[in-house]
Amino acid sequence: MTSGSEPGPAGGRLPQGIGSESERLVSADADGPEEQVIEAALRPKKLDDFIGQERVREQLSLVLQSALRRGRTPDHVLLSGGPGLGKTTLAMIIAAELGQPLRISSGPAIERAGDLAAVLSTLAEGEVLFLDEIHRLARPAEEMLYMAMEDFRVDVVVGKGPGATAIPLDIAPFTLVGATTRAGMLPGPLRDRFGFVAHMDFYEPAELEIIVRRSARLLDVEISDDGAAEVAGRSRGTPRIANRLLRRVRDYAEVRGDGTVSRESARTALSLYEVDERGLDRLDRAVLGSLLRKFGGGPVGLSTLAVAVGEEPETVEVVAEPFLVRQGLLARTPRGRVATGAAAWAHLGLTPPPTAPMAGTLFDLAEDRDERPDQPE
């Protein structure tokens, strides 16, 4: 693929506000057809070419090779982890390693048990079925999937009421690859039916550097080692974000530079796109800045903090907070959101007041999942 050949208009979600996913360069979601086309071109096709997740790769390799030697379909596979970490890529690699076609669907797309039965009944022997967001599968379809995974059989109900009849339907042995970003929402009976369960971790900067250099070769982009390190360091541990930042840095280098991505051009470009050296973007800094400047570091309730940045509480909680918590800049406590120590103040170049809250006791920093409205003092 040559430079500047990205096709198609970009899709988007949450079209308003500074937290809109379509506006966030550091969003880990693939938002539209352009993103999906480019991702498909950059994805590795073999397990040996997959970078990072070494333990998962080694374990998965044993599962697949054992199944091939025995001439049987491998156990069902469950992949969990945040968006953009390579779950879909691994599903495609599994099918390629087995030499089988891949059928792709998702939990939200299967609304009824009949929808799932239609998919399962058309699978060929050994085919791989990939269900993204499997935790969002409708309950009737989920219960049908139990029997299909264990016995390769589904019961199709014909008729309604007392006259309804269940007709057993045998299906060809297949391998289900399920992907979820919310492993805790997966019912125990469904989780137990997966023979191999793997959790995808965030990537180290050194691994992301390799991914950035590989993607640069595929996109025909000249990039220096320190330029790749700069892009990798701001990618929030996520390959999808690293590839997106690379494309924006490439644009800057081609239009305002000599076409080569260096550390200096990467820093200037990402500063223009408001992605700082730790990977925080405009929304992240708005949330952190409001917490520090307006509320002295907290504690402050989620609703109040959301009003201060002009966003919905759900946007702040789901889009901005997870990365701030992972970076050790913010903590969720029963009393509200608090900045965790001097690092939060230092990142924005602020001096903490003498009474600023620091990292407290284990109880103080315990996450309260039921905390939504502002907590009384």
Instruction: Retrieve residue 119's tokens.
Output: 């998919």
Specify the long-range contacts of residues 165-169, CB closer than 8 Å, at least 24 apart. 169/117, 169/121
In the chain, the amino acid numbered 325 is V
User: What is the C-alpha to C-alpha distance for residues 270 and 258, in angstroms, rounded to an integer?
Assistant: 17
User: What is the C-alpha to C-alpha distance for residues 334 and 375, in angstroms, rounded to an integer?
Assistant: 8
Per the annotation, the verdict on 361 as an active-site residue is no
Which DSSP helix (H) or strand (E) runs through 263? Answer: helix 263-272
In the chain, the amino acid numbered 234 is R
Per the annotation, the verdict on 225 as an active-site residue is no
Which DSSP helix (H) or strand (E) runs through 154? Answer: strand 153-158
Of the candidates 193, 236, 240, 244, the residue annotated as catalytic is 240
Of the candidates 73, 88, 333, 340, the residue annotated as catalytic is 88
Output the CA angle 341-342-346, nearest 5 degrees. 140
Of the candidates 181, 238, 315, 340, the residue annotated as catalytic is 181
Per the annotation, the verdict on 294 as an active-site residue is no
Of the candidates 43, 87, 267, 332, the residue annotated as catalytic is 87
Per the annotation, the verdict on 180 as an active-site residue is no
User: What is the C-alpha to C-alpha distance for residues 98 and 101, in angstroms, rounded to an integer?
Assistant: 9
Per the annotation, the verdict on 355 as an active-site residue is no
Of the candidates 132, 234, 238, 304, the residue annotated as catalytic is 132
For the annotated catalytic residues, the residue numbers are 87-88, 132, 181, 240
